[in-house]
Amino acid sequence: MMLSLSCTYALVVNVTHPKPVVSFTYITIHISGTGDTIVILGIYTDPQCSSPLENRPAPLHKPLYVVLRATSRDPNRFALVVNEVFASTSISRTGAVKATHYFVKGSCPVSKRLLEGPRANGASLEVKLAFNPFHLLPSDALYLHSRVTLCDKQAGRPCPPTCRQNSPPRRNRAWEISTREGQESGTGWLVFGPIRLSVSESSASSSRSLAGSWMAIFLLTVIGWMLG
C-alpha cells in the first residue's frame, strides 16, 4: 500500500530539553562546532499532515503518519537518519521486550505493519513513515519511541542506509558525528505518547450489528424450544 505524504508545519519554538508540546515532541542535539539542532517528532491522522493527533484517541487500523524533522543550521552538510522506531506500552524504552513492536531497526524497515517509510531516511533533514495502530496487550495505549542521528555528509561515506530483504541491516559509521571524547555523538531519543487507542465508528457499528444478530438468533432458538 503506497501513501502520499505532503506536510506543513506549525511554528517551531526553541527548547533545550525533551518536552512534549501539544502536537509534537522536541529534543535538542548539540554538535560541537555547529551549535544546536532541534529534532521534532509529530504524529498526524491524515496524509497531508495537517491534522495533528494531539490528545485525541487514535482509531485502530486507521493510519497514523509520523514525521521526524531536524532544523539544522547547515542543511547542506547534515542529514537525518532514523535508526530505530518502535511502539511500546511503556514510556521507558527499556521496558519489557514482549510489550515492544519495532517498525524500524538498524535504520531499515522491519515490520509488516509499516505502511510506508522510512522515506528519505539519511537523504534529507526530514523522514516520514506511516503505520496502522494496534493493541499491545494488555494496554490500550502506546508510546512511540525513536532514536535519530545526524549524519555528517562530509564524513566521506553515504548517509542513506543499505537495506536488503531478509538480511540484517548493516551499520554505517558515517551516520555518527565525529566528536571529542566525552561529548555528545549527534544521537538522541524521542518519545511520543501516550497514544490512546479506540475502536473506529465503523468497527463499533459492525460489532454492535453482529452482537444484535447473535442475540436475535438466540432469542428465536429459545422461543422455538419453548413452543416446541
Q: Residues 11-20: pLDDT tens digits?
A: 343 344 444 4
Q: What 8-state DSSP symbol labels residue 96?
A: -
What average pLDDT does this structure show over 127-146? 89
Is the pLDDT at 140 greater than 80? The verdict is: yes
pLDDT at residue 47, as a whole number: 92
31 close to 150: Cβ distance less than 8 angstroms:
yes
pLDDT higher at 115 or 9: 115
Tell me the pTM: 0.72
- pLDDT, averaged across the chain: 76
Query: Read out DSSP for 52-82?
Result: B-TTSPEETTS-EEEEEEE--S-TTTEEEEE
DSSP 3-state of 139: coil
Q: Say which CATH superfamily domain 19-198 falls into.
A: Zona pellucida, ZP-C domain (2.60.40.4100)
Distance, in Å, from the CA atom of 174 to the CA atom of 165, rounded to the nearest integer, reads 22
Domain range list for the chain:
19-198
Instruction: Quote the cell numbers at residue 69.
Output: 524533522
- Per-residue model confidence as pLDDT tens digits over 195-223: 998 875 444 444 444 445 555 565 566 55
Residue 42: HSE in the Cβ half-sphere, 13 Å Cα cutoff: 26
What's the mean pLDDT in 175-194?
Answer: 62
pLDDT of 89 above 50: yes
What integer pLDDT is reported at residue 204 of this predicted model? Answer: 42
